[in-house]
């Protein structure tokens, strides 16, 4: 594809080069900021009248993701289009691709939308994943290998941040859980002894250029990412090299264009297995906004616009703390903003709030990046910040 140059007018038209994004959440908001910094105009399509990304974009199209008029307007007003979340209907991306450059492609997003298809892709790409079974009917339920128990039953579609997941220990619990999940297609994954959860972010251009960030170590609480540390503490070099190689392999096998996050389980026996992937920037990559030479959102813009992808360089050790709406509530009530002044008094702290009007329990409101010259220093400052905010300090 011909590069869509920043700050340029589109040939034959009077308007500025414009990038579109399906979805108005915080990832879309940070994409818009990165695109605007490079001189692009941005259009957001989102059904909500008020959204974090829509509030900062030059234009907001309020429409459903499958609304034909909304999609036609987005294609008319934009030169290239992306998505900020994996559950946007793949059909919307297919429709837009008939009119404009779209990245990632609908086929890539469709793989990420179905856990069963996703695991089949991992296996075809030669990347090991957790032992599992697909359950779509009573015959497949009865045929589940007992060795997969205890395990985690996950809905094949629409599950994220721990939603649509149930731990089961016996065949009876498995059957009951599948019924509770309305007997929708599911994947049962064997529960594995985890040493740590890791992720790797890659960015790939339409020309096949592929770059990656260092391995990230993640801590989840209640199924939601809570802490990311880079460099990954105590992860041997060979394990990190294996994770990077596997992530690049997955992206190449998809022919992927854009930013892709691959999540891994590092097991106590030393094995590395892939868990899942997200066809977009990822919470675990938010540290790149302050700790790397180019953020994940800048690389998302570059890949979409056909610009060169520089190999990102980590210039500071970093810790990312996810900030949920729970922080706005105390025993006395709420909502009350946390003590940001005390947090920002700590060296190397960078606060990113998402512009959401209402704090709610479990809602992602922002993140805090801590950067320092060494991993030890970043970790200690992150612990201080966590104490101030009332967050757990078990990292």
Q: Which fold has domain 131-190?
A: Dna Ligase; domain 1 (3.30.1490)
26 marked among binding-site residues = no
Nearest Cα residue to 141 out of 97, 105, 107, 173: 173
pLDDT in tens, 28-48: 999 999 999 999 999 999 999
Q: Are 118 and 112 in contact (CB under 8 A)?
A: yes
CATH of domain 18-102: 3.40.50.20
pLDDT at 7: 80
CA–CA distance from 61 to each of 16, 48, 109, 250, 353 (Å)? 18, 9, 22, 34, 23
pLDDT at 196: 96
164 marked among binding-site residues = yes
* pLDDT-based confidence at residue 351 (cuts at 50, 70, 90): very high
Q: Which residue has the higher pLDDT, 357 or 106?
A: 106
What is the location of CATH 3.30.470.20 in the chain? 194-389
Whole-angstrom Cα distance, residue 226 to residue 305? 32
Rg (CA), the chain: 21
pLDDT in tens, 311-332: 999 999 999 999 999 999 977 7
162 marked among binding-site residues = yes
What is the location of CATH 3.30.1490.20 in the chain? 131-190
* pLDDT-based confidence at residue 159 (cuts at 50, 70, 90): low
pLDDT in tens, 76-134: 999 999 999 888 999 999 999 999 999 999 999 999 999 999 999 999 999 999 999 99
192 marked among binding-site residues = yes
213 marked among binding-site residues = no
* pLDDT-based confidence at residue 221 (cuts at 50, 70, 90): very high
161 marked among binding-site residues = yes
CA atoms within 13 A on the CB side of 91: 5
356 marked among binding-site residues = no
163 marked among binding-site residues = yes
Measured in degrees and rounded to the nearest 5, phi and psi for residue 355 equal: 75, 25
137 marked among binding-site residues = no
* pLDDT-based confidence at residue 71 (cuts at 50, 70, 90): very high
Segment 267-274 shows an average pLDDT of 95
Cβ-based neighbour number of residue 209 at 10 Å: 14
Cβ-based neighbour number of residue 143 at 10 Å: 10
154 marked among binding-site residues = yes
Q: What is the pTM of this model?
A: 0.94
Nearest Cα residue to 232 out of 277, 272, 269, 192: 272
Nearest Cα residue to 201 out of 309, 115, 305: 309
**By mean pLDDT, which of 69-78, 161-170, 360-369 is the weakest?**
161-170
pLDDT in tens, 52-68: 999 999 999 999 999 99
Q: Are 201 and 246 in contact (CB under 8 A)?
A: no
- Is 3.30.470.20 the CATH number for 194-389? yes
Whole-angstrom Cα distance, residue 341 to residue 143? 57
CA atoms within 13 A on the CB side of 171: 9
Cβ-based neighbour number of residue 69 at 10 Å: 10
pLDDT at 115: 93
275 marked among binding-site residues = yes
């Amino acid at each position: 594809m011909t590069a869509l140059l920043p700050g340029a007018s589109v040939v034959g038209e009077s308007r500025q080069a414009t990038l579109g994004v399906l979805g108005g959440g915080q990832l879309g908001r940070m994409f818009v900021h990165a695109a605007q910094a490079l001189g692009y105009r941005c259009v957001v399509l989102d059904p909500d009248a008020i959204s974090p990304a829509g509030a900062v974009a030059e234009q907001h199209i309020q429409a459903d993701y499958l609304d034909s008029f909304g999609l036609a307007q987005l294609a008319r007003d934009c030169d290239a289009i992306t998505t900020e979340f994996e559950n946007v209907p793949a059909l919307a991306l297919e429709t837009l691709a008939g009119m404009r450059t779209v990245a990632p492609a609908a086929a890539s997003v469709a793989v990420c939308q179905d856990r069963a298809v996703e695991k089949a892709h991992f296996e075809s790409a030669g990347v090991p994943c957790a032992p599992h079974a697909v359950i779509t009917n009573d015959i497949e339920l009865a045929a589940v290998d007992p060795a997969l128990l205890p395990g985690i039953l996950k809905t094949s579609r629409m599950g994220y941040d721990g939603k649509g997941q149930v731990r089961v220990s016996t065949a009876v619990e498995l059957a009951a859980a599948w019924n509770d999940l309305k007997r929708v297609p599911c994947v049962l994954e064997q529960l594995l002894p985890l040493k740590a959860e890791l992720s790797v972010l890659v960015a790939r251009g339409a020309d096949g250029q592929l770059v990656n960030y260092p391995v990230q170590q993640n801590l989840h609480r209640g199924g939601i990412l809570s802490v990311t540390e880079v460099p990954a503490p105590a992860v041997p070099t060979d394990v990190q090299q294996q994770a990077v190689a596997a992530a690049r392999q997955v992206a190449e096998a998809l022919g992927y264009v854009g930013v892709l996050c691959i999540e891994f389980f590092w097991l106590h026996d030393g094995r590395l297995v892939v868990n899942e992937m997200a066809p977009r920037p990822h919470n675990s990559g938010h540290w790149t906004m302050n700790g790397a030479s180019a953020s994940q959102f800048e690389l998302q813009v570059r890949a979409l616009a056909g610009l060169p992808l520089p190999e990102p360089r980590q210039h500071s050790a970093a810790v990312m703390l996810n900030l949920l709406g729970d922080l706005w509530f105390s025993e006395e009530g709420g909502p009350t903003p946390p003590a940001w002044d005390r947090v920002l008094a700590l060296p190397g702290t960078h606060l990113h709030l998402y512009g959401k009007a209402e704090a709610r329990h479990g809602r992602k409101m922002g993140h805090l990046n801590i950067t320092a010259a060494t991993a030890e220093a970043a970790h200690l400052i992150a612990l201080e910040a966590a104490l101030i905010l009332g967050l757990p300090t078990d990292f």
